[in-house]
Amino acid sequence: MTKDWIETQIKKFLKKNKITSSVEITHPENLEFGDYTTNIALQISRILKENPINIAKKIVESIPKNKEIKEINIIKPGFINFYLHDDVLYENLLKVIVKKEKYGTFDEGRGKIAIVDYSSPNIAKRFNIGHLRSTIIGQSIYNLYKYLGWKVIGDNHLGDWGTQFGKMIVAIEKWADKPVNQLSVDELEKLYVKFHEEAEKDKSLDELARKKFKNLEEGEYQETKVWKTIVTTSLKNFQKIYNLLNVHINFAYGESFYQDKMDAVIEEIKSKNLAKKSKGALIVEFSDKNMPPGILIKSDGATTYLTRDLATIKFRREKWHPGMIIHEVGIDQTLYFKQVFKICEMLGWTDTKYIHVKHGLIRLKGGKMSTRKGRNIKLEQILEEAVKMAKKINPDKKIAEAVGIGAVKYNDLKRSPSSDYVFNWQEALNLEGNSGPYLQYTYVRTQSVLEKSKDSLSQSKSLNQSLNKDELYLTRMIQQFPNTIKQAGYKFSPNLLTNYLFKLAHQYNLFYQKYPILKSNKDTRKIRLVLTKATGQVIKNGLEILGIKTVSKM
């Protein structure tokens, strides 16, 4: 690749001049400035104490001729820009058409395994907006790493174990007005809220709940039966949402799976002298005093969310030997994951990289969409509403589903995961702005042009004329796709991909409005159809990574 060649030449220059510096070759932000750019001259001007423009000149002089590069120029304050020949660019476009859904894939991840821990709702509670974000963002990160060539494993770390189930069981036994298998998730959540209200007044309830959880841990028949029933009810409810979202997660071991695996991890922590008794509890202390100790076993003997996470990581490491474990979980668990990862480091589990991708809150105009106290707004309602609204764009059920759900997903993915945002229907469904429907619409446009043309583009081998400015810009835009995938993956930021797709679609639409495609002369028509096809393919690949379907009509 020309990009690698450029990098090698610059490295040669650095070596010859005994300079140690990394070299970054990127695509210029501004399409006028060519195909590749580097700020290396600026970077090293401080070391050399020389004017970056002069350095850039020396670098350019040192680069031998290359038949793919048309021009190299230097712009203030010292960037070096590279322009490829039109036929090289055109060949790159043809590659998009040949590679199809493989365009933008890499094999740099080959042989490596990444685990994505995402979605992870809690049993007997509603699937909330936070879990929605985790599902959507987690799935995109999963897909991005697949594109980068990793073997990716998705695991839904269901919240199906812990002392809260003792409380649930007490509440069901005391206040449920129907048999447990008839209680909906909503009703279960209400019972849970009631438990907390009642426990404020009656301290004995907590004691009772502890006993119930202990029974559950010991596998007592009655408690186990209630627990199993509410797990089944909740999973059915979650499945509805996964179906709407068209998400399938490889595994759902859940916290309860680690019941019999916690002793081993506690033993390991003890054997490495990392555990300490404190007021009847077993804890891990950190040298960083800003970090509160992590509790492995509470004074009442119950294990914790933390213990289960450590058991989970141990299990995953032994089973899959992952190079990386990515946890897509709310920003409110930032300190918690710092503790978890620190303990992993203390344990010497350092051949896995641990990542917490944090998501922020979504607010609806007039308040939060989710609170800890169970005042969640119903998620299915939002998704169903989205489909209903999309029916105004196209009444076909399948299309409206793809558009409506796609709009909700895109509207989330276009933000940096950690930012909070206010949910706004107009924005999500806007056919003109940075939205899912806008991209789907642009895709439909490309497909209808191609359909009308009926040209076979397979014999479009050579370019017989030069590209005009807008053709050139669109080509450059398309060419940025693979690198965008890399950046979005490395930075765990699907929003870099949405921003790119939006710019690409915008560039295509400008082009489409400005020039005839089917009515232009033979050679021009060929170029413009190839551009149209490549744009469509890139939009499709990009949307697929975001978990958004393309549609054939809109």
- Mind giving me the DSSP string for 13-33? HHHHTT------EE--SSGGG
User: In the complex, what is the shortest distance from the CB of residue 421 to ligand ARG, in angstroms, rounded to a whole number?
Assistant: 20
N-terminal to C-terminal alpha carbon distance within the chain: 38
User: In the complex, what is the shortest distance from the CB of residue 66 to ligand ARG, in angstroms, rounded to a whole number?
Assistant: 49
Contacts of 310 (CB under 8 A, 6+ apart): 265, 269, 296, 340, 343, 344
Candidate ranges 117-125, 360-368, 445-453, 465-473; the one touching ligand ARG (CB under 6 A): 117-125
Q: Which of 202, 115, 99 is nearest to 154 (CA)?
A: 115
> CA 117 → CA 110, 250, 307, distances in Å?
20, 10, 16
The pair of structure tokens assigned to 376 is 């969640």
d(Cα 121, Cα 131) in Å, to the nearest integer? 6
Note whether 442 and 508 are within 8 A (CB): yes
User: In the complex, what is the shortest distance from the CB of residue 441 to ligand ARG, in angstroms, rounded to a whole number?
Assistant: 35
Candidate ranges 114-122, 344-352, 415-423, 479-487; the one touching ligand ARG (CB under 6 A): 114-122
User: In the complex, what is the shortest distance from the CB of residue 93 to ligand ARG, in angstroms, rounded to a whole number?
Assistant: 42
Residue tagged 């450590």 (tokens): 310
User: In the complex, what is the shortest distance from the CB of residue 130 to ligand ARG, in angstroms, rounded to a whole number?
Assistant: 7
d(Cα 5, Cα 3) in Å, to the nearest integer? 5
User: In the complex, what is the shortest distance from the CB of residue 122 to ligand ARG, in angstroms, rounded to a whole number?
Assistant: 5
Cβ-based nearer residue to ligand ARG, 329 or 379: 329
Q: Which of 361, 551, 284 is nearest to 443 (CA)?
A: 551
329 scored as a contact of ligand ARG (CB under 6 A): yes
307 scored as a contact of ligand ARG (CB under 6 A): no
122 scored as a contact of ligand ARG (CB under 6 A): yes
Contacts of 288 (CB under 8 A, 6+ apart): 342
Cβ-based nearer residue to ligand ARG, 74 or 357: 357
Using CB under 6 A, pick the residue from 157, 314, 476, 533 that binds ligand ARG: 157
User: In the complex, what is the shortest distance from the CB of residue 142 to ligand ARG, in angstroms, rounded to a whole number?
Assistant: 14
Note whether 442 and 416 are within 8 A (CB): no
User: In the complex, what is the shortest distance from the CB of residue 305 to ligand ARG, in angstroms, rounded to a whole number?
Assistant: 7
Task: Give the total of residues touching ligand ARG (CB under 6 A).
Answer: 9
Cβ-based nearer residue to ligand ARG, 117 or 217: 117
Using CB under 6 A, pick the residue from 35, 117, 217, 471 that binds ligand ARG: 117
Task: Count the alpha carbons within 13 Å of 106 in the hemisphere toward its beta carbon.
Answer: 17
E-strand stretches of 7-67: 25-26, 36-38
User: In the complex, what is the shortest distance from the CB of residue 253 to ligand ARG, in angstroms, rounded to a whole number?
Assistant: 10
Q: Secondary structure of 219-234 in the HEC alphabet?
A: CCHHHHHHHHHHHHHH
Cβ-based nearer residue to ligand ARG, 359 or 476: 359
The pair of structure tokens assigned to 110 is 């080959």
Cβ-based nearer residue to ligand ARG, 276 or 338: 338
Candidate ranges 86-94, 115-123, 264-272, 378-386; the one touching ligand ARG (CB under 6 A): 115-123
Q: How many residues does the chain have?
A: 554
309 scored as a contact of ligand ARG (CB under 6 A): yes
Using CB under 6 A, pick the residue from 52, 104, 159, 417 that binds ligand ARG: 159
Using CB under 6 A, pick the residue from 133, 167, 210, 327 that binds ligand ARG: 327
The pair of structure tokens assigned to 328 is 């897509």
Cβ-based nearer residue to ligand ARG, 98 or 335: 335
The pair of structure tokens assigned to 532 is 């149209």
User: In the complex, what is the shortest distance from the CB of residue 506 to ligand ARG, in angstroms, rounded to a whole number?
Assistant: 36
Contacting ligand ARG within 385-414 (CB under 6 A): none
> Which residues in this chain contact ligand ARG in the complex, by CB under 6 A?
117, 120, 122, 157, 159, 309, 312, 327, 329
